[in-house]
Amino acid sequence: MNKAFVKESDRDDDDDLPQAQALPAGMRNYMTPEGYARLRDELAHLMTVERPSVVQIVSWAASNGDRSENGDYLYGKKRLREIDRRMRFLTKRLDIAEVVDASVQPNRDQVFFGATVVYADKAGAEHTVRIVGVDEAEPLAGKISWISPVARALIKAREGDTVVLRTPGGVEELDILEVRYPPLQA
């Protein structure tokens, strides 16, 4: 096959990668210490383990000759682009990160970044959420981004307060039952 038909580009397969939630303009990238460490560890793993391994495979595949029909070479180059893209993303996110240690929060009865909040909706169902950074959010695990509608409704409220949550389905009231922070570090 002619090489003209297998042109490689750095923009190939951009749509295959999940898009990270963009930070609102002018907002800081708040993160918990655990979230920061997780992203830093992922970046280190990509730089020291995954990328060198893939580079070695691509180098071996390139030495085999015709690259146009060499699956190891083509897949390896694609994987290298994915790794490099993720490394650039992580580097940018870590550079602008502002680590917030919730254990030193002085107002422990009020909801701020890093708080674990137990609230009840109007049906009486209790929900427990932890307010974390944009890159740490896992709604199914109870970790919600500080810019999410629920977190915005909860922030600055106190235990016993009722807050209003505006959703596309209408207005809902949430009763704050408990506010917790990680224990103070000695």
pLDDT per residue as tens digits for the range 29-58: 899 999 999 999 999 999 999 999 999 988
Q: Of residues 49 and 22, which shows the higher confidence score?
A: 49
How far apart are the C-alpha atoms of 16 and 53, rounded to whole Å? 22
Asked whether residue 22 carries a pLDDT value surpassing 50, the answer given is yes
pLDDT, residue 6, reads 46
Share of the chain above pLDDT 70, in %: 85
pLDDT band at 181 (very low <50, low <70, confident <90, very high): very high
Rounded to whole angstroms, the Cα distance separating 40 from 115 reads 22
pLDDT for residue 152 is more than 90? yes
Listed residue (170, 147, 186) closest to 27, CA to CA: 147
User: What confidence tier does 16 reach under pLDDT thresholds 50, 70, 90?
Assistant: very low
For 145, the 3-state DSSP assignment is strand
The Cα–Cα gap between 31 and 98 comes to 6
Tens of pLDDT, residues 54-104: 999 888 888 887 777 778 888 999 999 999 999 999 999 999 999 999 988
Full set of structural domains in the chain with CATH = 26-99 (1.10.287.180), 110-180 (3.10.50.30)
179 phi, psi to nearest 5 deg:
-125, 125
Q: What pLDDT does residue 71 have?
A: 81
Long-range contacts (CB closer than 8 Å, 24 or more residues apart) made by 172-178: 172/121, 172/122, 173/121, 173/122, 174/119, 174/120, 174/121, 174/150, 175/119, 175/120, 176/111, 176/117, 176/118, 176/119, 177/118, 177/119, 177/120, 177/126, 178/117, 178/118
